[in-house]
Each structure stands twice: as C-alpha cells, then as structure tokens.
C-alpha cells in the first residue's frame, strides 16, 4: 500500500502521522512544494519579527519523519491520472499511488487593484515561506507600507512591519474592525489598540489605484476616500482561497467548486482520492480555512483512507488570535442577545451571546479562557445566569493575573 | 531579518551566537577563571572598600540580577506572574544572598546564605563545616535541605526554588534574559541531560555519605578521610567552580542561560524527581495550539513544549523550572502553570476534561 499526500502543511502531515499510527507497514509519501519540511504557517510573523529562526518553524524534529518512515518529497505536482493512479511532478518524476490525499491548502486572493500591471515589486502577501522571503527582502528599503485587509493575516503583517520601524497605513474596507468576528464595541477596542501602537488604521477605506515608480516598484496607493498614501510595500491580505488551480489542468480533475468537492468522508469524485484541509469543500459548500480545521480534517481523512467510517460535520466553531497584545478567544455562534462587559480602562472584554434562554457563543478579548468549558455549556444549553455563575471555572489567566470578574460586572 | 543600524546588528549578533556572542562568552569565561583561580580581583575589591574578591563578586552579581530584573519586569509588565516572580528573585538576591550574609559577618556570625541548601551547597550538609556553626544554623540547614525544600517542591514544583529563590536561576532569569532561547531543544540533548544531571546528583549523594562516614569513623580510618578529602576538592573544582560558574555563566551567550541548571545542578535533579510525583504541571488547553513553537523557542530548559501542546497533553517534566515564559509567549493562551490539587472538586472536573483530550490520537 502506498499512501501519497500532496501538501506538507498541517492537514497533510497530520494525516501522514495518523496513517502511520494505524498502518505500520504502508509506504507513506508527502509531497511539498513550499519547503522541505512541514512548517507552521502561523509562526511566519515571528520569523519576520526575528523572534524565531526558520528552523524553529518546524513543529517536528526532522528525525521524526525518518523514525516514522515517512518519505518527504520536494516538488510541485503537475499531472494527475486517477485511472492509472499516477502523479507527475513538475521536474518530471513520476509517482504511483494506491490512495491519494489532496491537502494543498490555500493561496492568497489575487489583488484586484488597477495599476498593478506595471508593478514588478513591492506587492506582498504573507502566507508562504516565499512571501516571507520577499517581505524580508523589501523591508529594509521600506519607510512606509500599506496593508489592505482586516483579517488575521493583515494584522499580523502590520505588526511585523511596525516592528521593523515602518510606518504602516492599514486599510480596512469595513465600518469597524473585523465585523466577521467582532461586534462594534470590540472592533473599536481593537482599533484603538492598533492605533495606540502608531499604526494608521483607516476604516471604510479601499484601494482604488496602485501607483509605481520608475523602477516599477509600488510607490503609492489611492483610496476610495480620495487620498493618496505613499508606500514602498503594499500588503494584500484580502483573504485566501483553495489552492486548486493546478487541478483544472490535469488529465482527471476531481469535481471542483470553490474547493475540491468532498463527501462527508473526505472522498473526492475520483476513486482512491481524498481531500482535506483548506482546499476541501464540504458537501454543505463550506470551506474551512483555519489551522484547527485543517488539523482535524487531516486526521479524519486519514481514518477514512484507512477504511474507517467517517462522517464529518464541522464541530462547534472555535478560534483564537492575538491582535498585537490582545488575545482573542471565540467559541460558538452569535445569538439574538448578548451580554457584554468591558473592564474599565483596560483592553479586556467579554461577550456572551445567547438565544431563547441558552448561550450560543463567546467572544473574549484580553484575557485567557479554557474554551472547553464554553463548549460544554453551549452543548448543555445552559442559560446566561448559570454561565455567569460558573464563568470563573473557565478562567485561564496566569497565576496572580486572574481578571477580576466582579470588576467586569459579573457577580459570582 | 536584521534592521539596518549598527546597534541593532550588534544586539542581533549577541543574541544569536554571532561573533559578538562568542567574544562575550570568552569574556564571561575569562572573568570566572580569573575570579576562581587568581587573586587579581582582590586589590580592586580592597581599593573600593569591599574587603574580598567574593564580596566584589556578590555585589556585581546582585547588581546584575537587579538591573536585569528591572528590564524583565518592564518587558513582561502585563504578566503578573512574571512581575511577582521577578520582584521576589531580586529581593531574595539582595537580602538572603547578599546583605544578610554580610550583616552576619559584621555581627561576627558565620557568613551563611539562607537561600542556599544542600545539595546545591555541599558545605551545608558537610558535617565538619555545618557542625562547627551555632545550633540555629545547623537546624536551618538540615530542616531546610531535607524537609522544607522537597515539601514545597511537592506542592508547587521545583519552580519555587529554581526560579523564585535560587541565585543561579535568578541570574538566568534576569541578566540572562537575552539568551534564554539558545537552549538546545533536541531529543538528543534531553537524553544527554538525563544522564549528566543524575550522574552529578549521584556523585553528590555518595560524597555527602562519605563525608558523614569519615566524620564519624575517621579516626579509625585515616585513609578514608584522605580519599574523601581529595574527592571533595575535585568536586569543588569540577562541579562548584567549573560547571556552575565558568561553564554555567560563561556559556550564556552560546548555550543559553540554564546550562548548569539543566545538565549538572544536583539540586535541580533532586527537586525534579520530587516534581514528577508532585502537584505541579503545565496544563495544555485542548485543541487550541497552532504549533507556532514560541513556547519551545523561549524555554530556557530546552523542553520541546510545543510537542506536548500540539498533542493536547498536559505534562510535568522533571527539568521544568516553572519560569512561566512558555505561557507568556504563547499567542493563543494554550499553556498555564498550575499546582493541581486533586482535593479541589472544581479542578478535578477540569482534569477529567483534559484527560479526555489527552487520550485523543497524536498531533
């Protein structure tokens, strides 16, 4: 049995280890185009900020792969023939498989702005190691930068550039910061925090045109509000999408939508081919694109490949982030009503959403929480008074640093 | 990436094993060699009114802990654990390890360091020395070394000593802050550590036993006294001087700040064993790790914290000194230092949840 996995990101590598755990003898190969070894994409920002070396980004010691007898191949796959179960790499190598997992992840959405056609440099993304290298190449000659897009990658890039002493204009289309996740109060809290660091956060701004200098490097952007912002670097952090373009060119493409269409057991429309992680589109049409979902899907896809019955539906949503110094924990979904409190004068707030007597979700900023309790209460359909009474159980702040719930207005 | 500018490039070099780091390591090592094996510092010490080179050293040490400590408090001012811990470290150094011994000496009492215990300080259970002291010191040493220190470690982990009280740990966590990330995280170094640190502990225990035997039965056996004496002087040279001083601090800019604590300190070895069966642990929040590796990078003891965090595994490692920096640098608040009490019903509920998580498949 030869398992081949395309993609050495968290979904692919998690799947490889999960396969090995159950099948000690099979041949397992993982193909990666971006790097020789699995790296943690989430730590790119720390590499950019000099807090880690590239080698530190590898979550597993290199010897783990040899110990687990997992073959790592560097290269990009250019051809897939599902009828004869053969892959071809761009460098001409052929590889046959018995079972194949597509875990190709995401690529940045392309920047749509007029004027970019003449730009040869200065435009950056912040998703891959190659993007990191480009950012590091440009940063020393950059005094001002513009970053567009108010998601997590955007704020990470802003923090990195700011760390290197670059004046950043941070353009966000929405009326408040990150409306997909935050209500206006929290959005304002985060916006204040970002501005407090000296970053020029411009809400309700979009780029309408990109200008370049005589060397074809980005030199300024014009915004929807009519202003012009000089910059030597332009970060396009306007979301990611499944990395599936290459599959449109192959001999036997699987059914594609926004991503690779899969059934609830991670099988694609092709025989003996599975897909998992950011590149997979669930039967509901949903594409999950966070670290946690990729890890979870990789593990379950491996079980499906091993012959287990798998029926995946995304669990209760949870996520976390750090926006400059403010930590963010979220669980669940919005409700009709919400209980919001902010610690006066501090970047600490809690929001507990509820609907028809049952809590549905939590949005916590600036303090630490063990989300396992939140999940439990949502599953148990607890009401708000119960949750408030037990809220202290979920606190996860450092010793001596526990946030005072009574100061937050939660009587306990 | 290195920002342009000479100062930043120099700082980068110092913190990342560049040329400047090697030069600094040579200076530190040279300083300790001169301190331990020559009297060159004595005239200087007398000239500035500090009496002996050891008082000069103690003064420099206390200054380094205080200055580094202030830097650390500012750096981690948002983290109460770090602030409280660092204040305690500075205060303990300035009192128990500096001014109180000087005061004792001034009062014609033994120059006793209340913050040191056996087996870190072999003298304090060396019968010929300790029995020469007034009774309160004898009681303090025996009760402290054999009862108080291990019991506190069982309840709070070795951190109460190694990163709240101990001078070696104090210097590492203050003055040594810029180099904490240099510790080796490989499995190989973990294997080496387990051999060397328990070997030193074994040697220390054997030597202590010999010292007691030769103290009790020495008159009948002068050969034993001679051999034990030689053993003791080699121990003093290799373990106390070379390993804890010259290597321990000399290698800060190259091997990180806890080389001595991790590979050789008999006290750390002993408390680590207590810690393994005690209440202290690092709790890992289920499924929230993003494998970024900041925890491992900044672990001064070279523990690959990430390997536990990404496997949803709460853990207690013998070497963990509980500095709390893994928890501080974690961008997703996944890690927390805890003294788990099985008698606390709220805690035990949480443990159940965590244990369910820990039985899930790997990574």
Q: CB B337 to CB A400 under 8 A?
A: no
The second-level CATH assignment, the architecture, of A116-238 is 3-Layer(bba) Sandwich (3.50)
- Residues forming a β-bridge with B281: B338
Q: CB A372 to CB B294 under 8 A?
A: no
pLDDT of residue B287: 95
List the CATH code of the domain at A2-107+241-305: 3.50.50.60
Q: Which residues contact A210 (CB under 8 A, 6 or more apart)?
A: A111, A113, A114, A115, A116, A119, A123, A218, A220, A221, A222, A234
Nearest partner of B125 among B217, B232, B237, judged by Cα? B232
Q: CB A372 to CB B291 under 8 A?
A: no
Tokens of A150: 């108010």
Per-residue pLDDT of chain B (363 residues; tens, 9 = 90+): 555 567 788 889 999 999 999 999 999 999 999 999 999 999 999 999 888 999 999 999 999 999 999 999 999 999 999 999 999 999 999 999 999 999 999 999 999 999 999 999 999 999 999 999 999 999 999 999 999 999 999 999 999 999 999 999 999 999 999 999 999 999 999 999 999 999 999 999 999 999 999 998 878 888 999 999 999 999 999 998 899 889 999 999 999 999 999 999 999 999 999 999 999 999 999 999 999 999 999 999 999 999 999 999 999 999 999 999 999 999 999 999 999 976 444 444 544 444 444 344 444
Quickly count: other Cβ atoms within 10 Å of residue A256's Cβ.
17
Which residue ranges of chain A lie beneath pLDDT 70? 412
A-to-B residue pairs, Cβ atoms closer than 8 angstroms:
123
Nearest partner of A172 among B82, A157, B97, A96, judged by Cα? A157
- Please tell me the distance from the alpha carbon of residue B56 to that of residue B316, in angstroms, as a whole number: 39
Distance from CA of B335 to the nearest CA of A (A): 9
The second-level CATH assignment, the architecture, of B279-358 is 2-Layer Sandwich (3.30)
Q: CB B285 to CB A139 under 8 A?
A: no
- Nearest residue on chain B to A393, alpha-carbon basis: B346
- CB nearest to B292's CB, from A40, A139, A325: A40
Distance from CA of A220 to the nearest CA of B (A): 23
- Please tell me the distance from the alpha carbon of residue B127 to that of residue A253, in angstroms, as a whole number: 81
Distance from CA of B107 to the nearest CA of A (A): 38
Which residue bears the tokens 């090592």?
B29
- Nearest residue on chain A to B352, alpha-carbon basis: A372
Contact yes or no for B65/B171 (Cβ under 8 A): yes
B2 and A CB contact within 8 Å: yes
Q: CB B333 to CB A368 under 8 A?
A: yes
Distance from CA of B353 to the nearest CA of A (A): 8
Start-end of CATH 3.50.50.60 domains in chain A? 2-107+241-305, 116-238
- CB nearest to B293's CB, from A43, A136, A164: A43
Tokens of A74: 């560097």
Q: CB A21 to CB B288 under 8 A?
A: no
Among A56, A59, A129, pick the best mutation site for testing chain B contact (most B Cβ within 10 A): A59
Q: What was the ipTM of the complex prediction?
A: 0.95
pLDDT tens per residue, range B26-39? 999 999 999 999 99
Neighboring chain B residues of A140 at a CB cutoff of 8 Å: 1, 3-4
B23 and A CB contact within 8 Å: no
State the DSSP H helix or E strand holding residue A351, giving kind and residue range, or none if neither.
strand A349-355
- CB nearest to B293's CB, from A21, A40, A63: A40
Q: CB A51 to CB B80 under 8 A?
A: no
Neighboring chain A residues of B4 at a CB cutoff of 8 Å: 140
State the DSSP H helix or E strand holding residue A19, giving kind and residue range, or none if neither.
helix A10-22
pLDDT of residue B92: 98
Contact yes or no for A85/A250 (Cβ under 8 A): no
Tell me if the bond preceding B119 is cis, omega within 30° of 0.
yes
- Residues forming a β-bridge with A260: A256, A280
Q: What is the largest CA-CA distance in chain A?
A: 67
List the CATH code of the domain at A318-394: 3.30.390.30
- CB nearest to A398's CB, from B81, B331, B354: B81
Distance from CA of B54 to the nearest CA of A (A): 36
B363 and A CB contact within 8 Å: yes
Nearest partner of A330 among A173, A186, A171, A154, judged by Cα? A186
Start-end of CATH 3.30.70.20 domains in chain B? 279-358
Start-end of CATH 3.30.390.30 domains in chain A? 318-394
B343 and A CB contact within 8 Å: no
């Amino acid at each position: 049995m030869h398992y081949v996995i395309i993609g050495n990101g968290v979904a692919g590598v998690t799947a490889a280890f999960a396969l090995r755990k159950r099948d000690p003898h099979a041949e397992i190969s993982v193909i990666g185009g971006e790097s020789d070894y699995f790296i943690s994409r989430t730590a790119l920002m720390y590499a950019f900020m000099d807090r880690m070396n590239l080698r530190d980004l590898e979550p597993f010691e290199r010897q783990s792969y040899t110990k687990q007898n997992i073959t790592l191949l560097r290269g990009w796959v250019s051809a897939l023939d599902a009828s004869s179960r053969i892959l071809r790499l761009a460098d001409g190598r052929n590889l046959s498989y018995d079972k194949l997992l597509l875990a190709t992840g995401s690529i940045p959405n392309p920047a749509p702005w007029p004027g970019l056609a003449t730009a040869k440099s200065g435009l950056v993304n912040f998703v891959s190691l190659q993007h990191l290298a480009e950012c590091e190449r440009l940063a020393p000659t950059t005094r001002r930068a513009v970053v567009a897009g108010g998601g997590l990658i955007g704020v990470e890039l802003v923090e990195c550039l700011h760390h290197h002493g670059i004046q950043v204009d941070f353009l966000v289309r929405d009326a408040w910061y990150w409306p997909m996740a935050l209500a206006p109060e929290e959005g304002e809290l985060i916006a204040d925090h970002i501005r407090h660091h000296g970053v020029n956060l411009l809400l309700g701004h979009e780029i309408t045109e990109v200008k370049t200098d005589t060397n074809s490097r980005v030199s300024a952007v014009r915004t929807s509000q009519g202003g012009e912002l000089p910059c030597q670097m332009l970060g396009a952090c306007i979301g990611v999408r499944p990395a599936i373009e290459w599959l449109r060119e192959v001999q036997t493409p699987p059914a594609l939508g926004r991503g690779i269409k899969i059934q609830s057991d991670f099988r694609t429309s092709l025989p003996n081919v599975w897909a998992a992680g950011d590149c997979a589109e669930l039967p509901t049409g949903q594409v999950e694109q966070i670290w946690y979902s990729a890890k979870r899907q990789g593990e379950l896809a491996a079980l499906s490949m091993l012959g287990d019955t798998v029926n995946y539906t995304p669990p209760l949503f949870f996520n976390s982030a750090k926006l400059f110094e403010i930590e963010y924990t979220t669980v669940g979904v919005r409700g009709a009503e919400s209980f919001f409190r902010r610690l006066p004068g501090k970047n600490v707030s809690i929001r507990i959403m509820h609907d028809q007597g049952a809590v549905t979700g939590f949005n916590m900023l600036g303090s630490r929480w063990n989300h396992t309790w939140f999940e439990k209460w949502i599953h148990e359909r607890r009401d708000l008074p119960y949750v408030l009474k037990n809220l202290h159980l979920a606190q996860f702040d450092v010793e001596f640093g526990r946030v005072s719930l009574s100061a937050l207005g939660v009587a306990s | 990436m290195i920002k342009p500018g000479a100062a930043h490039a120099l700082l980068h070099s110092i913190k990342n094993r560049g040329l400047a780091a090697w030069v600094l390591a040579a200076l530190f090592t040279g300083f300790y060699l001169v301190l331990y094996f020559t009297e060159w510092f004595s005239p200087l010490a007398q000239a500035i009114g500090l009496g002996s080179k050891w008082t000069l050293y103690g003064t420099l040490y206390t200054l380094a802990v205080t200055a580094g400590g202030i830097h650390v408090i500012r750096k981690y001012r948002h983290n109460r654990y770090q602030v409280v811990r660092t204040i305690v470290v500075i205060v303990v150094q300035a009192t128990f390890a500096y001014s109180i011994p000087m005061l004792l000496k001034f009062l014609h009492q033994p120059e006793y360091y209340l913050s040191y215990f056996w087996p870190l300080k072999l003298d304090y259970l060396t019968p010929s020395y300790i029995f020469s002291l007034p009774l309160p010191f004898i009681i303090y040493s025996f009760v402290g070394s054999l009862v108080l220190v291990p019991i506190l470690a069982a309840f709070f982990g070795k951190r109460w000593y190694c990163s709240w009280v101990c001078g070696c740990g104090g210097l590492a966590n203050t003055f040594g802050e810029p180099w904490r990330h240099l510790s080796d995280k490989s499995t190989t170094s973990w294997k080496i550590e387990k051999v060397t640190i328990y070997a030193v502990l074994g040697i220390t225990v054997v030597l202590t036993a010999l010292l007691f035997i030769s103290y009790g039965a020495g008159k009948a056996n002068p050969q034993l006294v001679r051999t034990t004496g030689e053993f003791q002087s080699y121990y003093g040279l290799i373990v106390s001087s070379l390993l804890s001083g010259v290597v321990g601090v000399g290698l800060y800019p190259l091997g990180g700040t806890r080389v001595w604590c991790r590979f050789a300190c008999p006290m750390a070895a002993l408390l680590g064993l207590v810690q393994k069966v005690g209440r202290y642990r690092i709790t890992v929040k289920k499924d929230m790790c993003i494998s970024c590796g900041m925890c491992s990078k900044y672990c001064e003891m070279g523990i690959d914290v990430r390997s536990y965090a990404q496997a949803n595994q709460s853990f207690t490692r013998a070497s963990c000194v509980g500095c709390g920096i893994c928890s501080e640098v974690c961008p997703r608040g996944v890690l927390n230092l805890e003294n788990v009490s099985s008698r606390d019903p709220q805690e035990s509920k949480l443990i159940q949840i965590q244990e369910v998580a820990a039985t899930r498949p790997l990574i």
